[in-house]
Amino acid sequence: MDNYKVIEHDVIVIGAGGAGLRAAIEASAQGVSTGLVCKSLLGKAHTVMAEGGIAAALANVDSEDGWQTHFCDTMKGGKMLNNYRMAELHAKEAPMRVKELEKWGAVFDRTKDGKILQRAFGGHKYKRLCHVGDRTGLELIRTLQDKGVHQGINVYMECTITKLFKDGDTISGAFGYYRNSGEYVLFKAKAIVLATGGVGKSFSVTSNSWEYTGDGHALAYEAGCDLIDMEFLQFHPTGMVWPPGVKGILVTEGVRGEGGILRNNKNERFMFKYLPESTRHEFAETEAEASQWLEATLNLTKSTARRPPELSTRDNVARAIYTEVKEGRGSPHGGVFLDISYQDSNRIKQKLPSMYHQFKELADVDITAGPMEVGPTAHYIMGGVRVDADTAQSKVKGLFACGEVSGGMHGANRLGGNSLSDLIVFGARAGLHAANYAKELKGKPSINGKEIEAEITDLERPLNAQSGQNPYDLHKELNHIMSTYVGIFREENDLVTGLDKLVELNKKLDNLKVVNNRTYNPGWHMCRDLKNMLICSMAITKSALSRKESRGAHSRLDYTETDKELSKVNSAVFKQDGEMKLEHTPTLSMPEELAKLFN
Amino acid sequence: MAKVTLKVYRGDKEKGEFKTYEVPIEDGMVILDAIHYIQANIDNDIAVRWNCKAAKCGSCSAEVNGKPSLMCKTRLDRFAKDEVITVQPLKTFPLIKDLVTDVSWNYEVNKHITPLTSKDEGEWVIYQEDIERVQEFRKCIECFLCQDVCHVLRDHDKHANFAGPRFLVRTAGLEMHPKDTASRTKYLKEEGGIGYCNITKCCTEVCPEEIHITDNAIIPLKERVVDDFYDPIAKFLKGLFKK
Amino acid sequence: MTQSTVNSSPAHTTKTVRKDNWWLEPASIALGFTLFIIYATFRAFENNYYEINQYLSPFYSPKIILEFWKFSPAILVLWIPAGFRATCYYYRKAYYRSYFMDPPACGVGHGGGSSYCGETTFPFVLQNLHRYFFYMAALVVLWLWKDAFDSLFFQGQFTFSILSLVMFVNVVLLSNYTFGCHAYRHLVGGKLDCFSCTKASQTKHKVWQFVSKLNEHHMFWAWMSLFSVAFTDFYIRQVASGAYSPMRIF
């Protein structure tokens, strides 16, 4: 069967967000032929939704900052479950990567002395987030896009990858279809980099776009990789709650970084009571101290006042908001109030321009005049493909992963701003090592034609079916299951029920039906996306069941405390004999000189 | 339950028709929500591009009642009750299917612009006042609505001679970058075809990021082209003082 | 109307599907311009009632009297503001839309076709000379300031009238229009890539910021000054012909 196009490159990067673009730039800079495949148009990836900034210890605003502090903040934020080596490399290399972006054309906001300006963010001890108003992600992606374009990367837009091929235990290619034409395409490659982002579309309230269907997680799982830490799914504390059409859309943590205050319907600044004992000493004790900190921040001066409690880590703030709403102290549309309107309105418009427009146009709310209503929204998965920290290579030879699809960097909870820096640090590493791997690989790994035929048959089943279910109905069902049984707070019974329902739902996947042909047919696209979302949802649920403690973003109502034994293991999901298996594997232990930093 | 009636183009370049749909209205609903409703409940195969649904990615460009708009920020309550809303794909680019057009021409144009070029190898010191202009241009989300509405492309098909507002904005961001040393005026005059722009400002009118495309990007670039090609007196004086 | 051929599809078969009154704006602008042009042409050729005592009509200022010139002196001057406005970036937008219908409104199709050359060929390539017209128009405006001050003195005596007030308002509006010009904005600082680099460029930055503020409302100043200059001339004509009084206050 020859009804597919064949394209050959040394390195194929799947996904063109920050990580994928950075990987492709690095690989092509090494002189290997590089192809970049993405589901959307170039420059539209979800990275544009990252608003607040890139965390890098440049020490431009707070001179005390350094990679050691950034490393410690990241590990503490991740409840020490992180791959320490990734956190270390990340903290060390982020500043260099940010400066590199600037040389490539990124135009960051400036300090008075002409350096890159940095703002405060949750869980970061110092002001560390390099930013451009509240559209840092757009700046990052446009910079990388233009850099890549002029470097001569081959970009294959609106192309979905559905399967990876191996020759023995070595990666050999990828198969997929062009969304536009429905034409099939086979990419032959020596090395493949996954940079496909996250899984948010499994949840009904999410900040993620349609692309976030866990494709890379599922592809890697099918190819034999481990998915680690899948129980850790970050709910961003502040998503829009009204109107219904925009429920879940992100409200940047930058609002709180710039001094935004959270209140319930009793006008209480409730975050003071939700600070965990372990970090309480890092935060302001009174409203007066918090406003002192803010005043110093606004005037770019020094103060001994500690950060406001709103800048606690995301897991914490999300739980706090959820609890306030659940206990009846929420706002009219089921959120809480986030208020920045007490500040000068021109400053708000300058520092948070897209938030201003977003609320004005979509919710008829003027954030310079009154509070926003916000609530938690599924935002980011800490878990993902297990990779080697230095090379970003997975268990499968020649298969690399970086960005959100990789696991380990963020442990049990990601700090805001650490995602964009993760993309560029590990994007570059994955690109470099994929290129080196491709250069060193002897011969060309082969692809079995039978597997391609089987894949095409599988893809076309819903088109050829006489009758069957609407894939969108199944998607709604999946959203309902995940949001009901595997949400912010979890317990045994819910998780078990959820898993049963997912298994039931999985059976229905063989019985889908869509109309029309393969030409730009979103219904047909949804069928395969569903399969990927289900793999990820099951991995999340199974991992959540196995972790009988509360840690970071994983909160169990039946096990509210952390468990000492579980602090030493990562959950790992993998495919064995056609079934999803789970085991707990020991975390990497830190060398002495890093461990010392925590004393 | 209140309903809205939409007339949506269904079909491809050769064959198609406007199909009428009735969609129940929710508070704060936008056109894109209505299209999603159709996709999930009526016609699974209706083709539409979208990503962020928050006017940050520039994917869901279409023409709503004849006006190039982002579907994700066009609210239904902005229309009169009982008004039938027409949704068409962009006109300026070849149609693929339904509301999706082939915008690949834009990506080709982009390749021809000289990227940021600087000789400053050290750590950059740049002051806020020097980048404010550039930052406005970098807000661009590449929705290509300006390209769609520009009559030079839309009505005169000058795709081969004119880069379009989006890429004049990008060029402006590079030309005005305090660390950039390259000159793009020759490109602007020749390949970029800035002379085709007759500054009728429709690009500015449709820009969802409210970039002052004409006043802040295109006209300043036209003036820079004048500096280099149409101002003999200034050239003469400059030559005189250089010696 | 010719439709674009390259991008044709059944999705776009009519000129536009816009339902709003998109034609209203170009139509009223065309009407406004036409009325002004008729009045200004009539006045330029009238060659009468343009000066009385210390008052001089802006259409005839600066007054240039040449031996050999047998026609109205206004013609020796009026080409400057006419040329300045004709090549002005705002007026270009307005008349390309209203007179040339290219395009009449956004997203509204028109007599398209690939013969369009925009401002790349003669005569429209001459629009690039806008800055030269600016230099001259700026001198004319300075002269009109002089006229306004002159109107305050009659036979060495200080005097003030409503007509003087009108002349001052007019010259303020004309200044805001002229010094908010896009070409001036470029020349005064817009051409710089770095505002902070030298002391001189820092000063230029401040001027540029001021000009940018005026420039933001260039259309407003363009129309206001168009009305005011016609009205000032009309008032002086009526005073000179004896129909009105200058309404002296003291």
Q: How far is C201 from chain B (nearest CA, A)?
A: 11
Residue B243 lies in a domain: no
pLDDT band at residue C6 using 50, 70 and 90 as cut-offs: low
Task: With CA atoms as reference, report the closest residue to B180 among B168, B172, B169.
Answer: B172
Least Cα separation, residue A253 to chain B (angstroms)? 16
Q: Which of residues 156-185 of A touch B (CB under 8 A)?
A: 157, 180
What integer pLDDT is reported at residue B190 of this predicted model? 97
In angstroms, the separation between the Cα of residue B241 and the nearest Cα of chain A is 33
- Work out the pLDDT band at C112, boundaries 50, 70, 90: low
Residue of C231, C56, C207 lying closest to C144 (CA atoms): C56
In a domain, B240, yes or no: no
Neighbours of chain C (3+ CB pairs under 8 A): B
Three-state secondary structure string covering A16-81: CCHHHHHHHHHHHHCCCCEEEECCCCCCCCHHHHCCCCEECCCCCCCCCCCHHHHHHHHHHHCCCC
Per-residue pLDDT reduced to its tens digit, A192-248: 999 999 999 999 999 999 999 999 999 999 999 999 999 999 999 999 999 988 999
Better-scored residue on pLDDT, A474 or A152: A474
pLDDT per residue as tens digits for the range C170-207: 999 999 999 999 999 999 999 999 999 999 999 999 99
The verdict on B228 touching C (C-beta cutoff 8 Å) is no
A115 touches B at CB < 8 Å: yes
Å from B224 to nearest chain C CA?
A: 7
B131 vs A110: CB contact, 8 Å cut-off? yes
Nearest in space to A239 (alpha carbons), one of A355, A146, A108: A355
Residues B129 and B226 in one domain: yes
- pLDDT tens track for B33-64: 999 999 999 999 999 999 999 999 999 999 99
Query: Within a domain: residue B113?
Result: yes
pLDDT tens-digit readout, A140-171: 999 999 999 999 899 999 999 999 999 999 99
Q: Which of B75, B101, B127 is the last residue of a domain?
A: B101
Give the pLDDT band of residue C3 (cuts 50, 70, 90): very low
For chain B, what is the largest distance between any 2 Cα atoms, rounded to a whole number of angstroms? 80
B:66-105 residues touching chain C, CB 8 A cutoff? 66-68, 83, 86, 88-89, 91-95
Does a structural domain hold residue B169?
A: yes
Closest approach of A17 to chain B, Cα-based (Å): 12
- The answer to whether residue C110 scores a pLDDT higher than 80 is no
Distance CA A80, CA A85 (A): 12
Nearest CA in chain B to C101: B200
Rounded to a whole number of angstroms, the distance from the CA of B93 to the nearest CA of chain C is 6
| Residue B152 confidence (pLDDT) above 60 | yes
How far is it between the farthest Cα atoms of chain C? 76
Residues of C with CB below 8 A from B83's CB? 19
Chain B's closest residue to C108, CA to CA, is B66
DSSP code for A283: B
Going by the DSSP 8-state scheme, the letter that residue A414 receives in this structure is: P
Judged by a CB distance cut-off of 8 A, whether residue A105 touches chain B is yes
Domain boundary among B71, B101, B131: B101
Which amino acids of A are annotated catalytic? 236, 256
**Contact: C92, B199; criterion CB under 8 Å:** yes
- Asked if the model's pLDDT at residue A2 lies above 60, the reply is no
A246 interfaces chain B, CB cutoff of 8 Å: yes
User: Which of B130, B152, B201 is closest, CB to CB, to C118?
Assistant: B152
Are the C-beta atoms of residues C248 and C54 closer than 8 Å to each other? no
- Within chain B, strands assigned E span 3-11, 16-24, 61-64, 67-70, 85-88, 95-97, 100-101
Residue numbers in B near A46 (CB within 8 A):
51-52
* pLDDT beyond 90 at A1: no
CA distance B48 to B101: 9
Of the three residues B101, B125, B140, the one that is the final residue of a domain is B101
**Whether residues B20 and B61 fall in one domain:** yes
Q: What is the mean pLDDT of residues A110-115?
A: 95
Interface contact B219, partner A, CB < 8 A:
no
Instruction: Give residue A483's Cα distance to chain centre.
Output: 18
User: Do the Cβ atoms of A570 and A584 come closer than 8 Å?
Assistant: yes
Give residues 481 to 520 of A whose Cβ lies within 8 Å of B.
Answer: 514-516, 519-520
Quote the pLDDT of residue C4: 46
pLDDT score for A182: 95
Contact partners, residue A479, CB within 8 Å, separation at least 6 = A202, A203, A204
Q: Which residue has the higher pLDDT, A244 or B184?
A: B184
Let me know whether B218 and B204 are in one domain: yes
pLDDT of residue C1: 32
pLDDT value, residue C87:
98
Residue of C nearest to B84 (CA): C19
- C220 has pLDDT over 70: yes
Predicted local distance difference test score (pLDDT) of residue A299:
87
* Lowest-confidence region among A16-20, B100-104, C2-6: C2-6
Contact call for residues C178 and C131 (beta carbons, < 8 A): no
Which B residues in the span 189-218 are in contact with C, Cβ-Cβ below 8 Å?
193, 195-202, 205-206, 214-215
User: Hey, which chains touch A, using 3+ CB pairs under 8 Å?
Assistant: B
What pLDDT, on a 0 to 100 scale, did the predictor assign at position C2?
Answer: 36
Segment A297-326, tens digit of pLDDT: 888 888 899 999 999 999 999 999 999 999
Same domain for B229 and B109: yes
Q: List Cβ neighbours of A500 (8 Å cut-off, separation of 6 or more).
A: none
Q: B112 and B224 in one domain? A: yes
Strand bridging mode A34-37 / A4-14: parallel
The reply to whether residue B198 touches residue C113, judged by beta carbons under 8 angstroms, is no
Q: Which of A436-440, A475-479, B9-13, C112-116 has the lowest mean pLDDT?
A: C112-116
| B56–A209 CB contact, under 8 Å | no
Is the domain of B126 the same as that of B45? no
Q: By the CB < 8 Å criterion, does B19 face chain C?
A: no
A238's enclosing H/E stretch is strand A233-240
Size of interface A-B (CB pairs under 8 A): 170
The DSSP-derived string for A527-593 is HHHHHHHHHHHHHHHHHHHH--S-BTTBEESS--S--TGGGGEEEEEEEETTEEEEEEEEPPPPPHH
Stretch A250-278: mean pLDDT: 94
Tell me which residue range forms the domain holding B18. Answer: 3-101
Closest CA to A141 of A46, A38, A71: A46
- Residue A190 near residue A10, CB atoms below 8 Å: yes
| B97 vs A contacts (CB less than 8 Å) | 519-520
The predicted complex's ipTM stands at 0.96
Answer yes or no: is pLDDT of B22 > 80. Answer: yes
Structure confidence at residue C8 as a pLDDT band (50, 70, 90): confident
Check CB contact under 8 Å for C93 and B199. Answer: yes
Considering the domain architecture, whether residues B76 and B148 belong to the same structural domain is answered as no
For residue C34, the distance in angstroms to the closest alpha carbon of chain B comes to 19
B/C interface, count of CB pairs below 8 Å: 166
Q: What is the pLDDT of residue B184?
A: 98
Which B residues 150-169 touch C at CB under 8 Å?
151-152, 154-159
Q: Is B176 on the interface with C (CB under 8 A)?
A: yes
The string of pLDDT tens digits covering residues A454-464 is: 999 999 999 99
Nearest-CB residue to A139 (from B41, B138, B174): B138
Give B131: exposed, middle or buried? Use CB within 10 Å, 0-12, 13-18, 19+: buried
Q: Chain B window 146-175: which residues touch A at a Cβ cutoff of 8 Å? A: 170, 173-174
Closest-CA residue of chain B to C192: B176
Q: How far apart are CA C31 and CA A5, in angstroms?
A: 60
| Residues B105-121, mean pLDDT to the nearest whole number | 96
Residue in this structure with the two tokens 């045994």, named with its chain if needed: A492
Together in a domain, B56 and B37:
yes
The verdict on B115 and B226 lying in the same domain is: yes
What is the structure's pLDDT at B242? 73
Taking contacts as CB-CB distances below 8 angstroms, the residues of chain A near B104 are 157
Extract long-range pairs of A110-115: CB within 8 Å, 24+ residues apart: A110/B126, A110/B127, A110/B128, A110/B131, A111/A60, A111/A61, A111/A300, A112/A300, A113/B125, A114/B125, A114/B126, A114/B127, A115/A58, A115/A60, A115/B125
Reply yes or no on whether the pLDDT at A136 is more than 70. yes
pLDDT tens-digit map of A558-578: 999 999 999 999 999 999 999
CB contact under 8 A, A150 and B111: yes
Looking at the fold, whether B222 and B131 belong to one and the same domain comes out as yes
The CATH number covering residue B76 comes to 3.10.20.30
Chain C residue with the nearest C-alpha to that of B203? C106
Q: How far is B177 from chain A (nearest CA, A)?
A: 9
| Segment A57-100, tens digit of pLDDT | 999 999 999 999 999 999 999 999 999 999 999 999 999 999 99
Please indicate, yes or no, whether residues B59 and B79 belong to a single structural domain of this protein: yes
Other beta carbons less than 10 A from residue A285's beta carbon:
14
Q: What is the DSSP letter of A415?
A: P
Pick from C102, C124, C186: which is nearest to B223 by CB?
C186
Structural domains in chain A?
242-378 (3.90.700.10), 449-567 (1.20.58.100)
Substitution target from A40, A41, A242 for chain B, most B beta carbons within 10 A: A41
Contact state of B95 with C11 under an 8 Å Cβ cutoff: yes
The number of folded domains in chain B is: 2
Give the model confidence (pLDDT) of A374-408 as tens digits: 999 999 999 999 999 999 999 999 999 999 999 99
In a domain? residue B208: yes
Please list every residue in chain B whose beta carbon sits closer than 8 Å to the beta carbon of residue A514: 44-45
Interface with chain A: mutation pick from B23, B57, B70, B75, highest number of A CBs within 10 Å: B57
Q: Which of residues 220-239 of B touch A (CB under 8 A)?
A: none
pLDDT at B138: 97
Say which CATH number the domain at B178 has. 1.10.1060.10
Question: Would the CB atoms of B29 and A522 count as touching at under 8 Å?
Answer: no
Per-residue pLDDT band for A131 (boundaries 50, 70, 90) equals very high
Is a pLDDT exceeding 90 seen at residue C250? no
Q: Work out the percent of chain A whose per-residue pLDDT is above 90.
A: 96
B115 shares a domain with B50: no
Q: What is the mean pLDDT of residues A413-442?
A: 97
